Chains A and B, each alone.
Chain A
Amino acid sequence: MSTNVIELNHVQKNFGRTQALKNVTFNVPTGEVVGFLGPNGAGKSTTIRILLGMLKRNGGEATVFGQDPWHNDLQIHPRIAYVPGDVYLWPNLTGGEIVDLLLRLNGQNHTAKTDELMKVFEFDPKKKARAYSKGNRQKVALIAALSQDAELYIFDEPTSGLDPLNELTFQQEVLKLKEAGKTVLLSSHILSEVEKMCDAIVIIREGEIIEQGNLDQMRHLSRLRVQVETDAAITGLDKQSGVYDLKFTNHDQTAATFAVDHDVLGQVMAALTPLGIKDFQSTPPTLEDLFLHYYSDKGATQHVAQ
């Protein structure tokens, strides 16, 4: 049975005169890990807060487990584990006390899993919260959320304060959740973080969902950023379709950077090889590349429509 844990339909939210969410429509199917991508201020946290019943939407429909999050928070919340983007903790409680409290508030208890998580995240539970760094405060929320037995896990930029080692630990924990068939909504502004864990991604920009779907499909659409150096001067690339933003970085025109669509990568390589490739670096598409792609696409379709 495939149902949606989260359904959002034309959700709008205004803060005074500013429209934070203009049109947010997407679903999170049961058992899937969905990445929720967008730059800072795009409306990710606002959307999540609506899903948690903390903000009242001004329009559209939203359901979590088939229920309205604003009215049925009592039924919904015990089934959710949540890590906010900015974790602030009572300064005079220790991390260990807060983890226990957060578990108990949802009717759960400190388990062996909790201890294990404290170990893998290298977390000292005896310090007062005021002494914790941002990363350590995030660990408090992460440990409480990951050791909770929930159906839906919502992470709002959970790794922004973690070091790379802890980031990896977090990714492994999310993959465990995925194997266990849990549903996860993971917000981030870093595409590479999301693509390691997610089945699908949803992209929000300025309060609107601009792209959503299977990650493979979307990457197919996106471009690689390439930096290349050759023996002979690079010619002909500017005429090749699917190559954008070509810039030569030296006078001889033997070094260049450009963006290239996945489907013409073979042709570009074929054109470059005879020139004698000395150096070739490609970086995966960043969120900005996805946006560029989205907007140039939109421009193109508008052009065709005219």
Chain B
Amino acid sequence: MWRNSRGTGYLLRANLKQNLKFSLIWIVILVMMIASGATKMVALFGGPKTDLADMKHMLTMPGMAGVFGAIPKGVPLNSATVFAGIMMVFMVILDAIYIIPLMVKDTRGQEESGLLEMVRARTVGRTAAVMAAVWELLITSVVLFVLYSGSLMAINLQGADLNGNILFGLVLALANVFFGAVALLLAQLASTAQGAEMWSYVILTATYLIRLVTDIQNQKLTWLSPIGWAQKTNAYTDNNYWPVLMLAVVALVLAGGAVVIARTRDLGTGILPERAGRARAAGWLRSVPALLLRTERGLLAGWLISAVLMGAILGSVLGGAGDVLKSNPLYRKLLDVSQINAASLQMTLAYMAMFVLVFVCLAVVAGAQLVGKLKSDEEKGYLGIVHAEKPTRTTISLSYYFLGLIFSAIIYVVAIVCLYYSGNTTVSEPLPSKYLVRMLVAGLPAVLAFVSLAAAIIGVIPRISGLFWVYMGAGLIVEMFGPILNLGRNAGKFSPFGWLNQAPVHALENGWLWTMLVIVVVGVVAGVVGYRERDVA
């Protein structure tokens, strides 16, 4: 055992150094999210009573519980409990998005790049890479725990106590460990780094969806999802430590599995066997776009399935959103049937507007990921040979950009159509099709504007492609949480998310439509010109 992990310390130091920038940026973002969320909560509860009433009202809705996480009945609403209710699921997901690529990179990624082969030829044990990753996981988790709990103690929410602050930080740190362990195990099972990452995200999405549905339908069943465990700690009320232990035990089993597999597995192979492929290319494989479709087909299929599932599941929540009003006796007394129907339609539309943001985001991530392949395929050297062939840099870059644009549009349309039709099966009055059209007309240009912006960055200055995600993330957070965080109505207007004008609640303003279409054209042209004018590898 110890012989197998010889060299762990050395690898750990190398990894920590290598990933320092990545981890620092993420940890700062994560702690900022906690700190700003908590500060906003203080402002909210100290602010006008109407805001607070709106907030409390919102928290009781099934859609809200679905997206952010349910606050159990009977819990007193104060800054601390509302903070925990809104932030827990969100932070667990952010933790996972940070740690999954890091863990895959440390293990399978190093194996794929050939680094590990060089290292392992030295007196470095078979499991050293996995053990080093485990240690890095523990170190980052401890840092996160200290910073999370520390910043909560510093802000001192109303209704918070030391026990709750520690539990909140602890369970988030453990969630980090849990998803890190999931990624480590999948990195041993899958045969590529991309596969390992993809499967980790599939599991993350599945755990989110399970807790989404169960939070709405039956909160006891939320125990089925590891993200649900984090919610079940009920920090600041029950302060239940059992879920922390559950996360720790399961993470230990997963990481242990990863170590066991690493000890017996051949370097560079997955557990899942490789089939013999075809000796000759299919007849249609004769152009750069065809090549991209062939190499990325797994990715494309994965995104399409997610779009269908998310559309259908979020749609199934819509019925509940509108029904809240109908089942509320106070509203029934105050309003007549048509007024109730109108109000519940508004309520449903407000939810759809939030889901539009989610789907724009989904489609943009898919499209920008494809556009980003132009950079990563080049860095991996795949394009070296192709550059010497007939397809010019214009053809090559346009193939990536158009595939990204077209595919993101398909993802968005599929998700929205699934949302609309699955929503219609649950609401009492079918939604007029003009709302479907509104969602499509407003969302598509936003999706395309984002993806073409990614194309411009990849084409002109690929070095700063990370900034695209920062811009998009900031745009989404401000638009989605703006109302909760008391930001102005126009705060989100710095990104296409803000230009959607809360479709389908309002129709899109013509000016923004044109702005977005101009951005699409300019972005793609800039991307092509930039790619033509710079050196390629």
Report A's interface with B, CB cutoff 8 A: 52-56, 73-74, 77-78, 80, 82, 84, 86-94, 96-102, 104-107, 110, 125-128, 130-131, 141, 144, 154
Per-position contact with A for B352-393: 1 when CB-CB < 8 Å, else 0? 000000000000000000000000000011101111111111
The residue of chain A having its C-beta at the shortest distance from the C-beta of B294 within the complex is A93
With A82-B385, A127-B276 given, is the CB distance from A93 to B295 under 8 Å?
yes
Contact pick for A73, options B286, B393, B534, CB 8 Å: B393
With A88-B380, A97-B285 given, is the CB distance from A52 to B388 under 8 Å?
yes
Q: Which of A86, A99, A101 has the most CB of B within 10 A?
A: A101
Contacts of B429 in A (CB 8 A): none
* Contact call B278/A97, Cβ cutoff below 8 A: yes
CA gap between A6 and B381 in the complex, in Å: 25
CA gap between A55 and B298 in the complex, in Å: 32
**Please, could you name 22 A-B residue pairs with CB atoms under 8 Å apart, sorted by A?**
A52-B387, A54-B388, A55-B535, A55-B536, A73-B393, A74-B390, A77-B388, A78-B390, A84-B388, A87-B381, A88-B384, A92-B295, A93-B295, A101-B281, A101-B285, A101-B286, A105-B286, A105-B389, A107-B390, A125-B280, A128-B277, A130-B191
The residue of chain A having its C-beta at the shortest distance from the C-beta of B286 within the complex is A104
* Contact call B388/A101, Cβ cutoff below 8 A: no
Contacts of A104 in B (CB 8 A): 281, 285-287
How near does chain B come to A238, taking the closest CB pair, in angstroms?
A: 45
CA gap between A87 and B389 in the complex, in Å: 14
Contacts of A110 in B (CB 8 A): 280
* Contact call A96/B277, Cβ cutoff below 8 A: yes
CA gap between A302 and B212 in the complex, in Å: 82
Assess whether B330 is interfacial by the CB under 8 Å rule.
no
How near does chain B come to A198, taking the closest CB pair, in angstroms?
A: 21
The residue of chain B having its C-beta at the shortest distance from the C-beta of A73 within the complex is B392
CA gap between A227 and B536 in the complex, in Å: 47
* Contact call A82/B285, Cβ cutoff below 8 A: no
Assess whether B274 is interfacial by the CB under 8 Å rule.
yes
How near does chain B come to A13, taking the closest CB pair, in angstroms?
A: 9
Report B's interface with A, CB cutoff 8 A: 191-192, 268, 274, 276-282, 285-288, 291, 294-295, 298, 380-382, 384-393, 533-537
How near does chain B come to A67, taking the closest CB pair, in angstroms?
A: 13
Q: Which of B276, B282, B393, B535 has the most CB of A within 10 A?
A: B535
With A54-B387, A54-B535, A93-B294 given, is the CB distance from A125 to B279 under 8 Å?
yes
Contacts of A154 in B (CB 8 A): 388
Contacts of B534 in A (CB 8 A): 56
* Contact call A84/B278, Cβ cutoff below 8 A: no
CA gap between A162 and B280 in the complex, in Å: 23
The residue of chain B having its C-beta at the shortest distance from the C-beta of A82 within the complex is B388
Contacts of A107 in B (CB 8 A): 390
Contact pick for B381, options A77, A88, A131, CB 8 Å: A88
* Contact call B389/A88, Cβ cutoff below 8 A: no
* Contact call A87/B385, Cβ cutoff below 8 A: yes
The residue of chain A having its C-beta at the shortest distance from the C-beta of B393 within the complex is A73
* Contact call B276/A126, Cβ cutoff below 8 A: yes
Contacts of A141 in B (CB 8 A): 385
* Contact call A94/B277, Cβ cutoff below 8 A: yes
How near does chain B come to A60, taking the closest CB pair, in angstroms?
A: 16
Q: Which of A74, A89, A104, A106 has the most CB of B within 10 A?
A: A104
CA gap between A52 and B388 in the complex, in Å: 6
* Contact call A105/B382, Cβ cutoff below 8 A: no
Contacts of B389 in A (CB 8 A): 77-78, 82, 102, 105-106
* Contact call B277/A105, Cβ cutoff below 8 A: no
Q: Which of B287, B291, B385, B393 has the most CB of A within 10 A?
A: B385
Contact pick for A90, options B268, B276, B382, B391, CB 8 Å: B382
How near does chain A come to B394, taking the closest CB pair, in angstroms?
A: 9
* Contact call A101/B291, Cβ cutoff below 8 A: yes
Contacts of A101 in B (CB 8 A): 281, 285-286, 291
Contact pick for A94, options B278, B390, B393, B537, CB 8 Å: B278
How near does chain A come to B386, taking the closest CB pair, in angstroms?
A: 7
How near does chain A come to B533, taking the closest CB pair, in angstroms?
A: 7
CA gap between A55 and B393 in the complex, in Å: 12
How near does chain B come to A19, taking the closest CB pair, in angstroms?
A: 15
Contacts of A97 in B (CB 8 A): 277-278, 280-282, 285, 294
With A54-B535, A74-B392 given, is the CB distance from A100 to B281 under 8 Å?
yes
How near does chain B come to A292, taking the closest CB pair, in angstroms?
A: 32
Contact pick for A87, options B277, B286, B384, CB 8 Å: B384
Contacts of B285 in A (CB 8 A): 97, 100-101, 104
CA gap between A226 and B384 in the complex, in Å: 42
With A92-B295, A105-B389 given, is the CB distance from A84 to B384 under 8 Å?
yes
CA gap between A89 and B277 in the complex, in Å: 15
Contacts of B291 in A (CB 8 A): 90, 101
* Contact call A96/B281, Cβ cutoff below 8 A: yes
How near does chain B come to A63, taking the closest CB pair, in angstroms?
A: 17
How near does chain B come to A142, taking the closest CB pair, in angstroms?
A: 11
* Contact call A54/B536, Cβ cutoff below 8 A: yes
CA gap between A84 and B383 in the complex, in Å: 11
* Contact call B280/A96, Cβ cutoff below 8 A: yes
Contacts of B287 in A (CB 8 A): 104-105
The residue of chain B having its C-beta at the shortest distance from the C-beta of A79 within the complex is B390
Contacts of B381 in A (CB 8 A): 84, 86-88
The residue of chain A having its C-beta at the shortest distance from the C-beta of B387 within the complex is A54
Contacts of A126 in B (CB 8 A): 276-279
Please provide the 8 A-B residue pairs with the shortest distance between their CB atoms, ordered closest to farther. A88-B381, A94-B277, A100-B281, A82-B388, A104-B286, A97-B281, A96-B279, A105-B389
Q: Given known contacts A96-B280, A130-B268, what 19 new A-B pairs fall within 8 Å (CB)? A: A54-B388, A54-B536, A54-B537, A55-B535, A77-B392, A84-B384, A91-B192, A92-B298, A93-B294, A96-B277, A97-B282, A100-B285, A101-B281, A104-B287, A105-B288, A105-B386, A127-B277, A130-B191, A130-B192
Contacts of B390 in A (CB 8 A): 74, 77-78, 105-107
* Contact call B382/A89, Cβ cutoff below 8 A: yes
How near does chain B come to A76, taking the closest CB pair, in angstroms?
A: 9
How near does chain A come to B395, taking the closest CB pair, in angstroms?
A: 9
* Contact call A131/B274, Cβ cutoff below 8 A: yes
* Contact call A100/B280, Cβ cutoff below 8 A: yes
Contacts of A125 in B (CB 8 A): 279-280
Contacts of A131 in B (CB 8 A): 274
Contacts of B535 in A (CB 8 A): 54-56
CA gap between A99 and B386 in the complex, in Å: 12
Contacts of B268 in A (CB 8 A): 130
Contacts of A52 in B (CB 8 A): 387-388
* Contact call B192/A88, Cβ cutoff below 8 A: no
With A56-B535, A74-B392 given, is the CB distance from A102 to B278 under 8 Å?
no
How near does chain A come to B519, taking the closest CB pair, in angstroms?
A: 28
Contacts of A73 in B (CB 8 A): 392-393
CA gap between A110 and B298 in the complex, in Å: 27
The residue of chain A having its C-beta at the shortest distance from the C-beta of B288 within the complex is A105
Contacts of B280 in A (CB 8 A): 96-97, 100, 110, 125
Contacts of B294 in A (CB 8 A): 93, 97
CA gap between A82 and B386 in the complex, in Å: 10
Contacts of A102 in B (CB 8 A): 385-386, 389
Q: Which of B298, B380, B384 has the most CB of A within 10 A?
A: B384
